């Protein structure tokens, strides 16, 4: 079986995706290897702002425009943990570099953001999407996901509600034309 590495790719949920956690989601794959895959959903903001999150974790938020940004549903795994996708990668305590962006899980990045000293661009998510070895490949074979090389600007420059369609457009697909039914030619 051919091995694929989808690190730095988007997973675009197909319309027939039955798992409500992933219906119409766009997921950025941060790591994909023989141990499985880890991604962050980048188009599902929740009803929590950065300011509210900072207060919840006892970090004093500064008077900064980013405090009104939403926190995102990053996936159903470890929903009580924060994950920050950001550019540039920087030098935080616990960062996984993914191309020219980082995925940081350490508190130091949140403290810096609260003081207005964080990365230039960021997306804060609670939880992540995780797949066991071979699971993601199987879901792709069963038409659960489309994949496309990630355009990082889409994460930081396109409004959340437009990211799914923008990723589809990058593949030359209009989401409205996709059928709910899976089929094989």
Mean pLDDT, rounded, for 68-81: 94
Residue 70 or 66, more confident? 70
Which pLDDT band holds residue 16 (cuts at 50, 70, 90)? confident
Specify the pLDDT at position 15.
Answer: 84
* 70 contact partners, CB below 8 Å, separation of at least 6: 45, 46, 47, 48, 49, 50, 160
Which pLDDT band holds residue 140 (cuts at 50, 70, 90)? very high
Which pLDDT band holds residue 134 (cuts at 50, 70, 90)? very high
What's the CA dihedral at 104, 105, 111, 116 to 10 degrees?
30
Specify the pLDDT at position 171.
Answer: 86
Cβ(139)–Cβ(36) under 8 Å?
no
Q: What is the mean pLDDT of the chain?
A: 90
Specify the pLDDT at position 133.
Answer: 95
Cross-strand bridge partners of residue 3: none
Q: What percent of the chain has pLDDT over 70?
A: 92
Cross-strand bridge partners of residue 37: 32, 131
Residue 7 or 15, more confident? 7
The yes-or-no verdict on residue 41 having pLDDT over 60 is yes
């Amino acid at each position: 079986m051919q091995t694929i590495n989808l690190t730095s790719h988007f997973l675009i949920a197909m319309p027939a995706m039955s798992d409500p956690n992933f219906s119409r989601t766009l997921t950025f794959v941060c790591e994909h290897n023989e141990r499985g895959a880890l991604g962050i959903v980048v188009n599902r903001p929740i009803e929590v702002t950065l300011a509210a999150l900072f207060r919840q974790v006892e970090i004093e938020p500064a008077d900064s425009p980013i405090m009104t940004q939403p926190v995102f549903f990053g996936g159903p795994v470890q929903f009580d943990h924060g994950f920050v996708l950001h550019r540039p990668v920087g030098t935080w305590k616990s960062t996984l570099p993914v191309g020219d962006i980082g995925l940081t899980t350490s508190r130091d990045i949140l403290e810096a953001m609260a003081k207005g000293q964080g990365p230039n661009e960021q997306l804060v998510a609670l939880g992540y999407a995780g797949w066991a070895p071979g699971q993601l490949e199987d879901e792709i074979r069963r038409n659960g996901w489309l994949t496309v090389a990630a355009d990082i600007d889409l994460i930081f420059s396109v409004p959340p509600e437009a990211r799914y369609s923008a990723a589809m457009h990058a593949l030359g697909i209009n989401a409205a034309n996709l059928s709910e039914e899976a089929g094989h030619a």
